[in-house]
Amino acid sequence: MSFINSSVTYGALSIFAMPVRAGLIVAALCGALSFASFACAEGRSVHLVALGDSLTAGYLLPQDKALPAVLETFLKQKGRIITITNAGVSGDTTADGLARLEWSIPDGVSGVIVALGANDMLRGLDPTIPRTNLTAILDRLKARGLPVFLIGMRAPANYGPAYAQAFDSIYPDLAKAYGAPLYPFMLEGVAGRAELLLSDGLHPNVKGVEVIARQILPQLDEFVASLR
């Protein structure tokens, strides 16, 4: 929004007296105002909600060491004005995430990180179940006009190739269908590395979370930039 008082005099130059130069001044002022508006837009605060399970919640970790908090810290270090709310609940399946979606994602947020499916896989649920639930989650978020950053999960080899193919394909298929950026496997570079995991061998420790966050950061930063 901009307005200009046409009777303003800049030094000895009157806008009324010099219509040609006045046009140049008005254009310059409008350009300055547009630049200011752009600057304000660049500095706009972004609020994300991370909807997930124990990998998001930060199982047995202090809240400031959980993945959403670490991602928020790293993004702030890059100059982003951002808040990431941790809506991870340990033990949640995709069905649980769908059931609590509306109250977990309040109005007014900028976008949603969806990181569900690990518990469906650990329970050996038919992959059609998490596919159906994640589709419903993405449909509801799309209906609310909320952009999604999708974080995937992969089945271990001992589940067999048929199960792994059916489960692993869920995330790239949905990312393509909904035009959502995808980080394919949350535990990339962490799974199977004892020094980055808690004693249960499943959940990342503080160092593991930092590894995950640094790997996700470039894509998530692009996603945040797109929200502006």
- The order of strands in the sheet holding 82-88 is 82-88, 46-52, 111-115, 148-151, 182-183
List the domain boundaries for the chain.
9-40, 45-226
Is residue 226 part of the annotated active site? The answer reads: no
Q: Which of 6, 45, 199, 200 is catalytic?
A: 200
> Under CATH, which architecture does the 45-226 domain have?
3-Layer(aba) Sandwich (3.40)
Residue 118, amino acid: A
139 is a catalytic site residue: no
Single out the catalytic residue among 37, 120, 203, 221: 203
Render each residue's pLDDT in the chain as its tens digit; 228 residues: 333 333 333 233 233 333 334 443 333 433 433 333 333 345 689 999 999 999 999 999 999 999 999 999 999 999 999 999 999 999 999 999 999 999 999 999 999 999 999 999 999 999 999 999 999 999 999 999 999 999 999 999 999 999 999 999 999 999 999 999 999 999 999 999 999 999 999 999 999 999 999 999 999 999 999 996
178 burial level (CB within 10 Å; 0-12, 13-18, 19+): middle
* Residue 120 among the catalytic residues: no
Determine which one of 54, 92, 120, 168 is catalytic. Answer: 54
